[in-house]
Amino acid sequence: MPHNVLMPALSPTMTEGKLTKWLKKEGDKVKAGQVLAEIETDKATMEVEAVDEGTLGKIYVPAGTDGVKVNTLIAVLLEDGESAADIKAGAAPTAAPVKTVTPANAPAAAPQKTVALVPQKDSGRIFVSPLARRLAKEKGIDLSRVQGSGPHGRIVKSDLEKQSTVIPAQAGIQPPKAASSIDAKALADAYQIPYKLIPNSGVRKVIARRLLESKQTVPHFYLSLDCELDALMKIRKELNDGATDFKLSVNDFVIKATAAALVKFPAANVSWTDDAILQYERADISVAVATPNGLITPIIKDAANKSLKEISNEMKSLAAKAKEGKLKPQEFQGGTISVSNLGMFGIREFAAIINPPQGSILAIGAGEQRPVIKDGQVKAATVMTVTMSLDHRAIDGAVGAEFLQVFKKLIEAPMSLIL
């Protein structure tokens, strides 16, 4: 019987996505494991494959359609001997409709069963998607020298686009569509201000929606304190001067101190749910990284039990993958607390927005020379302001204050982070 192909949920937070491209057209034969489409999720663009074989009988959602809800009918696969006449009218599952989906126009026929697209799985000695294999052949790229960023290390199209031998204009990459008329355009026109429209990517839309929901539904409150960094800066310099395979940043110490403080004071390592407060037994630190598509937070898992060297090298690798759009879902989904550091831009202090379901986020300012009082005398010290945004449903003010005191002691006595 015909198989309904549904919009897949490629991450726990995905509710909708953009169907950017079909790799098969109506009438094409499809084998299980072949890539059917490219879908832009809330964090990245992923290739997805079919779980059944057959013929692509009808495409309901055209390429380029944005805002396609998870579980929406996007296509129908036909088994051997079936034709378009076997597609049942109105067979779409109960999911939010998409304007471009028109299943009611399909002719009535036999019952259908529903299947979903799934992320690719490994196959063969070199794990590569069919699309990437074809592009590699066209461009003469040696796949054995390409590092895959897809599920289980599979090589996907985006990996080939990073190769110096591939010219983007020749690699099948389509330029972004022109922006449609929106309220911003009318506003700019009304005030006669020169402007250009920059279409919002799917990632940017998801970021906007989640931040808005966070500020509207999470009762934020904020705590700030100053940490002196002179001892940390001294030890950091000594370690870096003697190192050959790593270079520590202040943020590496911040990540380690955050994790160690959560282990010492687990009452702050929590998330709110309506039924219960989740208190985590491990400190996984989400670290904000700016990318061309917006902010993403790769995770240093179990950071309290990793050395500063391990944290530093892992963070550099994750940040590079984030900026190239190569993070795997397990590398950015989860985390028990976030760290956002704008100190490198000279920002003295700021308050960050909580990333639900996490219960808090640390906003790290710049370390700068400030006057401090020591033994009744004014002296200069390198001081960093830390502001913690907390979900007041899960963390009381006293709990947040005690956590910050533990964090401050660790940052100001950094030998405890090394031993």
Helices 250-264 + 397-412 axis angle, to 10: 130
Element holding 333 (H helix, E strand): none
Number of H helices, E strands in the chain: 10, 21
Amino acid at 344: M
Cβ atoms of 147 and 128 within 8 Å: the answer is no
Q: Quick check: 7 and 70 in contact, CB under 8 A?
A: yes
CB 332 within 8 A of CB 298: yes
Assess contact for 286 and 299: CB atoms under 8 A.
yes
CB of 255 within 8 A of CB of 407? no
For 275, the 3-state DSSP assignment is: coil
Is-contact 75 98, C-beta < 8 A? no
Distance CA 17, CA 13 (A): 11
Residue type at 60 in one-letter notation: Y
* Catalytic sites, residue numbers: 392
Tokens 């405890």 locate to 416
Place of tokens 């030998």: 415
Cβ burial 112-135 (10 Å sphere, 16+ → b, else e): beeebbebbeeeeebbbbebbbeb
